[in-house]
Amino acid sequence: MMPKHCLLGPLIIFLSSATALEMQPAHVPLKPQKVRFQTRNFHNILHWQPGSSLPSNGSIYFVQYKIYGQSQWKDKVDCWGTTALFCDLTNETLDPYEQYYGRVMTASAGRHSAWTRTVRFTPGWETKLDPPVVTITRVNASLRVLLCPPELPNRNQSGKNASVENYYGLVYRVFTINNSLEKEQKAYEGTQRAVEIEGLIPHSSYCVVAEMYQHMFDRRSPRSKERCAQVP
């Protein structure tokens, strides 16, 4: 009969190897990299990149989120075991002035990484706004300009998508471009969505562009697409 210490030897070696495998830093390269929120018009998408030892395919990812100050993380069911490198957390981060965290874990070839967490995320401070949609109508020798800000994923009590004006004090800036003179000038700055531009040169072609400005954060949106008309 083989002595007991001979039977225990291989088991001790196996357990020691398994423990070492669990502890070895080879798991660190599995961790998702550059875990961050990207947000536009309050559509808040969590993005990440594979760990340094992994290709972009062949791994699955698990996503959790929480509000700053809470101890309990919540699973994002739609992104639990996803192969994508992003996860839409818009519905979980709807309050523009709340602060949130997201985190991601990788599993690959029977191993899993530690969690990688975002920095603290506040949608209202960080979201990027699209420009207003501009519609123009010629009225005799003037142009009537209608400005429509981007809609948000949040819905108001009537069930309609909320406007960005629900959260920010916006100022609209409207610019006209005289195509004949190749000259641009500011035609309006204010909070009204409907603007009438007068004093235009007859028999000239004009284009109109607009942008939104946020006093609270001292930032502005990109400019809208040009809308053009011929003044009689």
Least confident of 58-72, 113-127, 145-159, 209-223: 145-159
142: three-class secondary structure by DSSP: strand
Give me the number of domains the chain comprises. 2
pLDDT at 79: 98
DSSP codes of every residue in 12-73: HHHHHHHHHHHHSGGGGGGS-EEEEEEEETTEEEEEEE--TTS-SSS-EEEEEEEETT-S--
3-state secondary structure of 226: coil
Within a domain: 3: no
Indicate whether 119 and 144 sit together in one domain.
no
Which has more confidence, 160 or 73?
Answer: 73
Checking if the pLDDT of 5 tops 70, the result is no
> Over 70: is that where the pLDDT of 12 sits?
no
Mean pLDDT of the chain: 84
For residue 218, how many other CB atoms are within 10 A of its CB? 7
Look at residue 191 in the predicted model and tell me its pLDDT: 93
CATH code of the domain covering residue 110:
2.60.40.10
**Residue 56 has what pLDDT?**
53
Asked if the structure places residue 175 within a domain, the reply is: yes
Residue ending a domain, among 79, 100, 126, is 126
Phi and psi torsions of 38, nearest 5°: -120, 130
26-30, 75-79, 99-103, 214-218: which range is least confident on average?
A: 26-30
Lowest-confidence pick of 20-29, 49-58, 122-131, 147-156: 20-29
On the question of pLDDT at 118 being above 90, the answer is yes
Q: Is a pLDDT exceeding 70 seen at residue 3?
A: no
Q: Give tens-digit pLDDT for 22-79.
A: 333 445 688 999 999 999 999 999 999 998 765 556 789 999 999 999 999 999 999 9
State the pLDDT confidence band at 153, using cuts at 50, 70 and 90: confident
In which domain, by residue range, is 143 found? 133-231
Measured CA to CA, the distance from residue 56 to residue 59 in angstroms comes to 7
In a domain, 83, yes or no: yes
- How much is the pTM? 0.77
Whole-number pLDDT of residue 109: 83
pLDDT at 28: 62
Which pLDDT does position 162 carry in this prediction? 72
* 22 compared with 174, residue with greater pLDDT: 174
Q: Which of 85, 106, 126 is the last residue of a domain?
A: 126
Where does a domain end: 87, 106, 126?
126
pLDDT at residue number 219: 84
